[in-house]
Amino acid sequence: MNTTLAKDIHWVGYVDWPVRDFHGYQTKRGSSYNAYLVRGSARTALIDTVKAPYAATLLAHIQAHCALEEVDAIVCNHAEPDHSGALPAVVAACPNATVYCNAKCQDALSRHYDTASWKIHVVKEGDALDLGGRTLRFFDTVMCHWPESMVTYLPEEELLFSMDIFGQHYATSRRFDDEADLAEVMQEAKTYYANIVLPYAAPVAAAAKKLLGLRLRMVAPSHGVIWRSHFDKILAAYLDWRASKPTRKVVIFYSTMWQSTRLMAEAMAEGANEADVAVKLFDLKAVGDTELITELMDCAAFAVGTPTLNQSLMPRVAAALTYVRGLKPAGKKALAFGSYGWASKGAQEAEGYLRAFGCEILREPIVCRFVPDAATLDACREAGRALAQAALAVEA
């Protein structure tokens, strides 16, 4: 595996092939926690660490390049435990190392770990650490992804250690974008954006604007592959994803109890399919929230179906809508539908979620008692056509 970014600059992280859950994000292709070793003529710095259980692997990777006593600085760009979890073990193993982080990160680290004995150097925006012929310069990137997040720039190599920004939960034996399957990388970058970055789209865009003033030859995030040949692609994609830019796509998702809501969903898809738009139909038994929000991020319009269960919506639908509500996809047109037995509550409650997202509601919920009749299925087909019209209104 090629782990060399430039002479004396190495990836020393951990590839987490089996991980399938990242605080609720279903990581179907695993992940990696990227740490980097930068050697100057005078000092050696480690940029970030890995999750706590993989500290030994990180230390072994460092020792492939230098003795642990030679590590002078450990840069902590972000206190989230996927990058700081191994820090206590690394600090203990590297007796000459000082931790470099900003004030908010120092505070966050002290609330995660016993840092009383650590040597910590607090940095602020624009500060630099001279490694001898190589410089590390620090820039705050507040809320990308936590309040203390920062990135580290190495001007001599035009190399940005971009932390979570431009990352992907993607396990691969290839460390660089031009060595890996680019279609898979971009899909995982999109999934990562939808599930991690989307609520912070504005601060990430502001950070990107600031960082694009730098000369960038290589961008090394803390998850997934390093961008050295296709940075233009991920940058362009970030611009689209930032606005949850709608495409000519309709998404219909639902849960069903006795198949009535499924029949309504299928009639809706049939109506939408009459137009030249992409239509995706998901039974929430068969799709996870991670995939669902990724599909919703760039759709133009969507519909959510739920039967009424115990005077409420189906728990699986509530879970999906709660997950989506937190991630805030913007600018969508939507409607709700579903069957009921004796009190129609589920679809109306689902519509309340849509209003909370700020969706433009296309019509009142379509509901039916027990089993949809021909008129109800016609109404569903018509609603599908309305969803498709909303998608067709988007620039192709």
Contacts with ligand FEO by CB under 6 A: the residue count is 8
Q: For this structure, is 70 an active site residue?
A: no
Q: For this structure, is 200 an active site residue?
A: no
* 51 sits near ligand FEO (criterion: CB under 6 A): no
User: Which one-letter DSSP state was computed for residue 175?
Assistant: -
Q: What's the angle, vertex CA 100, arms to CA 60 and CA 35, rounded to 5? A: 35
Q: For this structure, is 177 an active site residue?
A: no
Number of helices (H), then strands (E), belonging to the chain: the values are 12, 24
Fill in the per-residue mask, 167 to 206: x = in contact with ligand FEO (CB under 6 A), - = not in contact: ----------------------------------------
Q: For this structure, is 23 an active site residue?
A: yes
Query: For ligand FEO, which stretch binds (CB under 6 A), given 43-51, 78-86, 108-116, 300-308?
Result: 78-86
Fill in the per-residue mask, 134 to 173: x = in contact with ligand FEO (CB under 6 A), - = not in contact: -----------x------------------x---------
Fill in the per-residue mask, 213 to 232: x = in contact with ligand FEO (CB under 6 A), - = not in contact: ---------xx---------
- Work out how close the CB of 169 gets to ligand FEO at its nearest, in angstroms, rounded to a whole number: 9
Distance from C-alpha of 90 to C-alpha of 114, rounded to nearest angstrom: 13
- Work out how close the CB of 381 gets to ligand FEO at its nearest, in angstroms, rounded to a whole number: 44
- E strands in 147-276: 150-154, 159-163, 218-221, 249-254
Query: For ligand FEO, which stretch binds (CB under 6 A), given 79-87, 294-302, 314-322, 326-334?
Result: 79-87
Q: Kindly tell me which of 30 and 372 has the beta carbon lying closer to ligand FEO.
A: 30
- Work out how close the CB of 222 gets to ligand FEO at its nearest, in angstroms, rounded to a whole number: 5
Q: For this structure, is 230 an active site residue?
A: no
Distance from C-alpha of 96 to C-alpha of 373, rounded to nearest angstrom: 75
Distance from C-alpha of 140 to C-alpha of 142, rounded to nearest angstrom: 6
- Work out how close the CB of 146 gets to ligand FEO at its nearest, in angstroms, rounded to a whole number: 6
Give Cβ neighbours of residue 298 (< 8 Å, ≥ 6 apart).
Answer: 240, 241, 244, 245, 246, 247, 249
Q: Kindly tell me which of 143 and 205 has the beta carbon lying closer to ligand FEO.
A: 143
Report the candidate in 203, 207, 215, 105 with the shortest Cα–Cα distance to residue 153: 215
Q: Which of 61, 83, 169, 223 is catalytic?
A: 223
Q: Kindly tell me which of 72 and 82 has the beta carbon lying closer to ligand FEO.
A: 82
Q: For this structure, is 349 an active site residue?
A: no
Report the candidate in 122, 141, 46, 117 with the shortest Cα–Cα distance to residue 84: 46
Q: Which of 16, 48, 72, 82 is catalytic?
A: 82
Instruction: Confirm if 337 and 264 have CB atoms less than 8 A apart.
Output: yes
The only residue of 80, 177, 188, 295 in contact with ligand FEO, by rule CB under 6 A: 80
The H or E element that residue 369 is part of is strand 366-369
Give Cβ neighbours of residue 286 (< 8 Å, ≥ 6 apart).
Answer: none
The only residue of 16, 82, 188, 295 in contact with ligand FEO, by rule CB under 6 A: 82
Fill in the per-residue mask, 83 to 122: x = in contact with ligand FEO (CB under 6 A), - = not in contact: x---------------------------------------
Residue that is written with structure tokens 């951990």 in the block: 14
Query: For ligand FEO, which stretch binds (CB under 6 A), given 74-82, 187-195, 275-283, 321-329?
Result: 74-82
What is the Cβ-side half-sphere exposure of residue 328, based on CA atoms within 13 angstroms? 10
Provide the phi-psi class of 79: left if phi over 0, else alpha when psi is between -120 and 50, else beta.
alpha
Give the three-class secondary structure for 93: helix
Output the CA torsion sign for 353, 355, 361, 365.
Answer: positive
Q: Which of 48, 72, 148, 164 is catalytic?
A: 164
Report the candidate in 194, 196, 180 with the shortest Cα–Cα distance to residue 145: 196
Structure tokens at 179: 């060595």
Q: Kindly tell me which of 16 and 298 has the beta carbon lying closer to ligand FEO.
A: 16
Q: Kindly tell me which of 85 and 365 has the beta carbon lying closer to ligand FEO.
A: 85
Q: Which residues of 220-230 are buried (b: 16+ CB within 10 A; e: fewer)?
A: bbbbbbbbbeb
The only residue of 51, 78, 248, 280 in contact with ligand FEO, by rule CB under 6 A: 78
- Amino acid letter at 387? L
**Contacts with ligand FEO, residue ranges (CB under 6 A):** 78, 80, 82-83, 145, 164, 222-223
Write out the catalytic residue numbers.
23, 78, 80, 82, 145, 164, 192, 223
